[in-house]
Amino acid sequence: RRKLSGPELLCQLKDMVHITTLTPDMEPFAGFPWASQLPPQPLSSDLGPFKTCAVVSSAGSLRNSGLGKEIDSHDAVVRFNAAPTAGFEKDVGSKTTVRLINSQVMASEDHHFLSSSLYSIGTLVAWDPAPYSSDLNEWYNKTDYPIFKQYQRYRRLHPQQPFYILHPSVEWQLWKRIQDNMAEPIQKNPPSSGLLGTVLMMSLCDVVHVYEFLPSRRKTELCHYYQRFSDAACTLGAYHPLLYEKNLVKRMNQGSDRDIYTHGRVTLPGFSTYNC
Ligand code: NCC
């Protein structure tokens, strides 16, 4: 099979990955009283369209990057999981428009998801590694972590904050793009939050800058900019097909290699502005 060019890959993503979220009318949720807690509208009715967006990976190489001002200059900023801004503003900025969280963060005791102020800013979007089928019933009976229980609790405590749940079809549509563009078989685990968030922002923004997803000259084994723990797998992947994700993003990058080297910055077009 022929290797697709960056523009061809971008068009595949635009055509084949649709950002959808759970709505109260979807089965089996429609039959549950708490379905009314789900936003009835698509994400794009609350958010955007934005001109420029920043996707801030949680990589350790953001440390001492001094990218905070540049990141905050975007119209919207997406961050992941438990990544803080307080105390790290110089390197990662302070604006948070969207926080994409995995279900592990929602469920694990040490993240204090229900009470920590970290999660109360901006729009929340949650996701859970669903069975490959993307069948909502199958997923509902077999979530990785108790995403729905925690969602209901959080919504009761913070009813005013916009909070979406990503439809599992998004993970597997994106996974399929990765697999179809790689020569080897890839483990059937969903893409990382970082890639999901990048595609999410490509659906809401004219231009997307992704920071330290492709590591800069600051590349380090430090896992997160906000923790002292080191593991190269955080950057290269273990569970998530991270190395393949990064390969695809590198091919789609419209910025220069120099931008990657100095700023860890990738430039991707938004879907609405990209002509296929
Ligand atoms: O580490 P995590 O991701 O929260 O990071 C968010 C995204 O940033 C990119 N990243 C991160 C570190 C690094 N050195 N290089 C990077 O490129 C990745 O794109 C990553 O997705 C996740 O994807 O949800 C993940 O979540 C953590 C963990 O659940 C949360 O941080 C909460 O503690 C996972 N770690 C474990 O399960 C132990 C991680 O595998 C993926």
Positions in the chain whose pLDDT score sits under 70: 1
Tell me the best of 81, 175, 187 to mutate to test the pocket of ligand 1, counting ligand atoms within 8 Å of each CB and taking the most: 81
What confidence score (pLDDT) does residue 133 get? 84
191: in domain: yes
Cα 224 to averaged position of ligand 1 atoms, centre (Å)? 8
170: in domain: yes
235: in domain: yes
Q: Which of 56, 60, 103, 45 is CA-nearest to residue 78?
A: 56
Ligand 1 in reach of 229 Cβ (< 6 A): no
Cα 25 to averaged position of ligand 1 atoms, centre (Å)? 31
Taking all residues of the chain, what is their mean pLDDT, rounded to a whole number?
A: 97
273: in domain: no
Ligand 1 in reach of 235 Cβ (< 6 A): yes
Please state the domain count of the chain. 1
180: in domain: yes
What confidence score (pLDDT) does residue 1 get? 66
Ligand 1 in reach of 210 Cβ (< 6 A): no
276: in domain: no
Contacts 24+ apart (CB under 8 A), 64-70: 64/91, 64/218, 65/91, 65/92, 65/211, 65/212, 65/216, 65/218, 65/263, 65/264, 66/90, 66/91, 67/91, 67/92, 67/93, 67/211, 67/263, 67/264, 68/92, 68/93, 68/94, 69/93, 70/263
141: in domain: yes
Q: Can you tell me which atom of ligand 1 is nearest the CA of 238?
A: 40
Give the CA distances from residue 167 to residues 94, 108, 142, 252, in Å, rounded to whole numbers and listed in that order: 28, 21, 15, 24
Tell me the best of 62, 63, 80, 101 to mutate to test the pocket of ligand 1, counting ligand atoms within 8 Å of each CB and taking the most: 80
ipTM of this model?
A: 0.98
What confidence score (pLDDT) does residue 81 get? 98
Cα 58 to averaged position of ligand 1 atoms, centre (Å)? 7
The residue segments making up the domain with residue 204 are 6-268
1: in domain: no
CATH number of the domain at 209, please. 3.90.1480.20
